[in-house]
Amino acid sequence: MEINEATHNFDPSWKIGEGRYGSVYKGILRHMHVAIKMLPSYGSKTQLDFQDEVEVLSRVRHPNLVTLIGNCPESRSLVYEYLRNGCLEDRLACKGNTPPLPWKVRTCIATEICSALVFLHSNTLVLCMGM
Ligand SMILES: Nc1ncnc2c1ncn2[C@@H]1O[C@H](COP(=O)(O)OP(=O)(O)OP(=O)(O)O)[C@@H](O)[C@H]1O
């Protein structure tokens, strides 16, 4: 299976984080670095979250939103573009000994988050209405 190969059979050294959805692995899929989120089990709530995330993220593209590259319902995994500097939360918290972000950069990030939120609100409304 491609996801197994991409993560070297979920080798612990390829694990990059732990989130609400479970473990996140770095992987190489079709010569591309990716981040792979694994759902631990298929409870009805997590299944709905999985479907929602696939439904919304696969239909939106924005420079300030991580790109969902694909998903694999059989292995309950979501495949995202790999963020070399970690996620925003990690950068804000200076995880991995990264230097603190200057306030000018933080202000810029806040503005860009607003732009992504406006984009999502206008587009998810259209998606929800099935237009
Ligand atoms: N695309 C990515 N590229 C690099 N690292 C990532 C990526 N996505 C997640 N990670 C790592 O995995 C950790 C957990 O991921 P995240 O917080 O996104 O999980 P989650 O709680 O399932 O997400 P969500 O916010 O969608 O509920 C992050 O702190 C980060 O270190």
Confidence band of 130 (pLDDT split at 50, 70, 90)? low
Q: Which residue of 39, 87, 97 sits with most ligand 1 atoms within 8 Å of its CB, as the best mutation to test the pocket?
A: 87
CATH of 1-84, picked from 3.30.420.40, 3.40.640.10, 3.30.200.20, 3.90.25.10, is: 3.30.200.20
User: pLDDT digit string (tens) for 37-90?
Assistant: 988 765 666 677 778 888 888 888 889 989 999 998 888 889 999 998 888 888
List the residue whose alpha carbon is closest to atom 19 of ligand 1: 19
pTM to 2 decimals?
A: 0.85
How far is the C-alpha of 21 from the C-alpha of 109, rounded, in Å? 25
Atom of ligand 1 nearest to the CA of 22: 22
**Cβ atoms within 10 Å of 78's Cβ, excluding its own:** 22
Atom of ligand 1 nearest to the CA of 84: 4
Domain ranges of the chain: 1-84, 85-126
Nearest to 16 by CA among 110, 120, 95: 95
Please say if the pLDDT value at position 4 is more than 70. Answer: yes
Give the pLDDT of residue 1.
Answer: 76
